[in-house]
C-alpha cells in the first residue's frame, strides 16, 4: 500500500508542473496498471510453461498429521496450505457445535510433469471420533491423466432425520491419495489448499422437504460482444464476472478460475468456446474441461470436449435453481446448489494439446447466463464464517434477520464483491481515460487558481 501511495503522490506532482509531466504520468500509470492486471504474469511466463495453481496468499501453513492424536485444528474462515504424500493419510481436526453445518474443500495440486493415471486423485472424508464417516468424496484427474488442480470436499451437516454426526464435539478431516499401479509419481507429495466454512442454521429451521420440479430446458448460449477478462489462477483469485461473454487466452496445462454471483432462485448456465489452432495434427480427448463449484468449492457439475484443431464449444448440463431445500435432493448436482453466493467456474486446457497443436496460447470464451429472478432466502440464525460467503450483494437484505444480512455476516464481502464485478467490467483503457480526465481537470483548476491569484496580487 505504501508503494502505491508513493506512486500516486509523485505522479500528481508531475501533472501539476507541466503538460510534459502529464505525458510521463500517462506512461507510468499505464505500466503500473498493466503490471496489476490478472493474468499478466501468466503471459510473461510464456506458453511453454503453464502457470501453476495460485494458492491463497494469506493461507496458513500447517503440517498434516499421520493420525488423530496430533491432528492440527482447522478454523472456519481461515485458508490453510499443506501437503499430502503418497500412500499416506493426512488428518486435520475440527471442533464443531451441534447447530452449524461445516464444509471443508480440499484442492490438491499434483507435481507438474508427474506421470499419472486416470484413477489418481484424492479421497476426502469427515469422520467422528468413532471412525464413522459423516461424508465421503473422491475426485480423480480423469481421462486426460494431466497433473492439474482437482477439488474434493467434506461436510458435517445437521439435517432432520439424520442420526449420525449430529452432536457437538471433535471431528476429523481425512485426506488420502487414490493411486493406480500405472502411476509413476511415487514419493512426490501433492500440495493442498484447505478452506473450512461454517454455515449457521436457518431461521425457523428452513425447508426440509425435497425440492419440486424445475425448468430443465437449456437456453441458447448467450450471444454478445466478448469482453477481455483474464481468469484467475485459483479459487482465492478467481475473476468476478456476471452475465456476459468473457474472453481470455489459455495455454495447455493451465486452469482459469472465474466466480459468478448466483442468488436464491436463480439458475446458472455456462458455455466455453475454444478457438481454432490453425493446424490439423490429430485429436486430443479430452482437451477442454469446464467445471462449476458452489460457494464452498464443492463440485456441482462439469463437461469435457475433445479437440482436433478446429473451434469447439461445450456447455454445462442444465442446473436446478439455487434453493435451500436442494440439500434434501436425492442426487447431485441438486444437492450442491444449496446456497446463494459466488459460484466458481474452472476452465482447464489439457497439456496434451501442446503435443498436437503447439504451445499456444489459445483463444477461449466463457459465455455466462443467469436465469430466474432472485428470491428471498431462508434467513440465517447467526453468522457464516467467513462472513458474506452465502451472499451475492444483489439484494438489500430483504430476507435478513434483525441485525444482519441474510447470512448474518453483516454484508461482508457481498456488496464489495458485486462492486468488483462492476468495476471489472470497465476496461483498462476506460479506467486510464477516467484517471487522465480527473488529472486534466485538476491541473486546469490549479492553473486557473494561480492566474486569479496573480491578477489579484500582481506583486506576489
Tens of pLDDT, residue by residue over 8-18, are 333 333 333 33
- Are 439 and 401 in a shared domain? no
| Domain shared by 9 and 31, yes or no | yes
Whether 168 and 22 share a structural domain: no
Determine the Cα–Cα distance for residues 245 and 243; give it in Å rounded to an integer: 7
| C-alpha count within 13 angstroms, C-beta hemisphere, residue 229 | 28
Domain count, the chain: 2
Tell me the average pLDDT across 323-334. Answer: 87
Answer yes or no: do 68 and 107 share one domain.
yes
Cell numbers given for 419: 462492486
Interacting residues of 13 by C-beta distance below 8 A, sequence separation 6+: none
| Residue 124 domain-assigned (yes or no) | yes
- Is 184 contained in some domain? yes
Q: Would you state the pLDDT for residue 187?
A: 60
Instruction: State pLDDT tens for residues 163-196.
Output: 899 999 999 999 999 977 555 555 689 999 999 9
Nearest to 386 by CA among 197, 239, 203: 197
In a domain, 106, yes or no: yes
Q: Is 107 exposed, middle or buried (0-12, 13-18, 19+ CB in 10 A)?
A: buried
Residue 45 in any domain: the answer is no
**What number of H helices and E strands is found in the chain?**
6, 20
Residue 129, in any domain of the structure: yes
Provide the pLDDT for residue 213. Answer: 83
43 assigned to some structural domain: no
Task: Supply the pLDDT for residue 236.
Answer: 98
3-state secondary structure 6-36: HHHHHHHHHHHHCHHHHHHHHHHHHHHHHHC
Q: What is the distance between the alpha carbons of residues 260 and 242, in angstroms, rounded to a whole number?
A: 6
**Residue 68: pLDDT band by 50, 70, 90 thresholds?**
very high
Q: What is the pLDDT of residue 38?
A: 35
Distance CA 361, CA 389 (A): 34
Average pLDDT in the 92-121 region?
95
pLDDT > 80? residue 244: yes
Residue 27 lies in a domain: yes
| 198 and 316 within one domain | yes
Q: Taking Cα atoms as reference points, which of 141, 190, 135 lies closest to residue 164?
A: 135
Question: What DSSP assignment string belongs to 51-74?
Answer: PPP---TTPEE-PPBSSSTTPEEP
144 and 249 co-located in one domain: yes
Q: Hey, what's the cell of 140?
A: 480423480
Q: How would you list the strands of the sheet with 150-156, edge to edge?
A: 60-61, 80-84, 190-199, 101-109, 150-156
Indicate if 387 and 417 belong to the same structural domain.
yes
> Do 274 and 390 sit in the same domain of this protein?
yes
- Is 292 exposed, middle or buried, given 0-12, 13-18 or 19+ CB atoms closer than 10 A? buried
pLDDT score recorded for residue 409: 35
Classified as helix, coil or strand, 418 is helix
Smallest CA-to-CA distance from 197 within 342, 84, 316, 66 is with 342
Compute the C-alpha angle 393/266/318, nearest 5°.
Answer: 140
Residues with Cβ within 8 Å of residue 422, at least 6 apart in sequence: none
Closest CA to 258 of 340, 366, 370: 366
Report the interhelical angle of 2-17 vs 19-35 (nearest 10°). 160
Burial of 303 (0-12, 13-18, 19+ CB in 10 A): middle
Distance CA 254, CA 239 (A): 15
Q: How far is CA 317 from CA 225, 267, 269, 447, in A?
A: 24, 11, 8, 61
Same-domain status, 13 and 132:
no
- For 159, the grid coordinates are 439435517
Same domain, 249 and 224: yes
pLDDT at 122 over 50: yes
For 63, half-sphere exposure in the C-beta direction (CA atoms, 13 angstrom radius) is 4
420 and 341 fall within a common domain: yes
In terms of pTM, does the model score above 0.85?
Answer: no
- For residues 155 and 188, the model is more confident at 155
**How many CA atoms does the CB half-sphere of 124 hold within 13 Å?**
28
- Would you say 326 and 342 are in contact if contact means Cβ atoms under 8 Å apart? no
pLDDT score, position 46: 35
Residues spanned by the domain of 25? 2-36+427-456
CA dihedral 97, 98, 100, 106 (to 10 degrees): 60
- Helix 428-456 vs helix 2-17: crossing angle, to nearest 10: 50
Residues 304 and 249 in one domain: yes
For residue 72, what pLDDT band results from cuts at 50, 70 and 90?
very high
Amino acid at each position: 500500500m505504501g508503494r502505491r501511495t508513493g506512486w500516486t503522490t509523485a505522479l500528481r506532482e508531475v501533472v501539476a508542473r507541466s503538460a510534459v509531466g502529464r505525458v510521463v504520468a500517462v506512461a507510468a500509470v499505464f505500466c503500473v496498471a498493466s503490471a496489476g492486471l490478472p493474468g499478466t504474469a501468466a503471459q510473461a511466463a510464456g506458453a511453454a510453461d503453464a502457470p501453476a495453481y495460485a494458492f491463497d496468499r494469506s493461507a496458513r501453513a500447517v503440517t498434516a498429521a499421520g493420525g488423530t492424536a496430533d491432528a492440527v485444528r482447522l478454523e472456519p474462515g481461515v485458508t490453510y496450505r499443506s501437503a499430502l504424500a503418497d500412500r499416506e493419510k493426512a488428518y486435520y481436526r475440527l471442533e464443531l457445535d451441534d447447530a452449524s453445518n461445516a464444509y471443508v474443500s480440499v484442492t490438491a495440486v499434483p507435481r507438474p510433469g508427474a506421470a499419472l493415471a486416470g484413477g489418481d486423485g484424492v479421497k476426502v472424508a469427515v469422520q467422528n471420533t468413532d471412525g464413522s464417516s459423516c461424508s465421503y468424496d473422491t475426485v480423480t484427474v480423469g481421462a486426460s491423466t494431466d497433473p492439474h488442480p482437482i477439488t474434493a470436499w467434506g461436510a458435517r451437516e445437521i439435517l432432520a432425520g439424520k442420526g449420525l454426526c449430529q452432536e457437538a464435539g471433535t471431528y476429523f478431516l481425512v485426506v488420502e491419495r487414490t493411486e493406480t499401479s500405472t502411476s509413476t509419481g511415487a514419493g512426490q507429495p501433492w500440495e493442498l489448499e484447505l478452506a473450512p466454512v461454517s454455515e449457521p442454521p436457518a431461521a425457523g429451521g428452513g425447508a426440509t422437504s425435497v425440492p419440486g420440479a424445475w425448468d430443465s430446458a437449456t437456453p441458447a448460449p448467450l450471444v454478445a460482444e466478448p469482453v477481455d477478462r483474464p481468469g484467475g489462477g485459483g479459487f482465492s483469485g478467481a475473476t468476478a464476472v456476471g452475465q456476459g461473454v468473457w474472453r481470455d487466452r489459455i495455454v495447455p496445462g493451465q486452469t482459469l478460475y472465474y466466480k459468478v454471483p448466483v442468488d436464491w432462485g436463480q439458475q446458472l448456465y455456462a458455455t466455453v468456446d475454444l478457438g481454432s489452432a490453425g493446424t490439423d495434427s490429430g485429436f486430443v480427448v479430452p482437451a477442454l474441461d469446464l467445471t462449476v463449484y458452489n460457494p464452498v468449492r464443492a463440485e456441482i457439475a462439469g463437461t469435457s470436449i475433445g479437440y482436433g484443431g478446429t473451434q469447439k464449444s461445450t456447455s454445462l448440463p442444465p442446473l436446478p435453481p439455487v434453493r435451500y431445500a436442494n440439500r434434501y435432493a436425492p442426487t447431485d448436482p441438486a444437492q450442491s446448489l444449496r446456497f446463494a453466493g459466488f459460484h466458481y467456474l474452472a476452465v482447464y486446457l489439457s497439456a496434451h494439446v501442446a503435443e498436437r497443436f503447439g504451445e499456444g496460447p489459445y483463444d477461449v470464451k466463457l459465455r455466462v447466463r443467469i436465469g430466474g429472478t432472485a428470491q428471498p432466502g431462508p434467513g440465517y440464525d447467526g453468522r457464516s464464517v467467513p462472513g458474506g460467503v452465502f451472499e451475492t450483494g444483489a439484494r438489500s437484505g430483504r430476507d435478513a434477520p434483525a441485525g444482519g444480512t441474510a447470512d448474518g455476516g453483516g454484508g461482508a464481502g457481498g456488496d464489495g464483491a458485486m462492486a468488483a464485478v462492476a468495476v471489472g467490467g470497465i476496461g483498462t483503457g476506460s479506467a486510464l481515460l477516467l484517471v487522465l480526465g480527473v488529472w486534466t481537470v485538476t491541473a486546469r483548476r490549479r492553473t486557473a487558481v494561480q492566474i486569479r491569484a496573480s491578477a489579484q496580487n500582481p506583486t506576489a
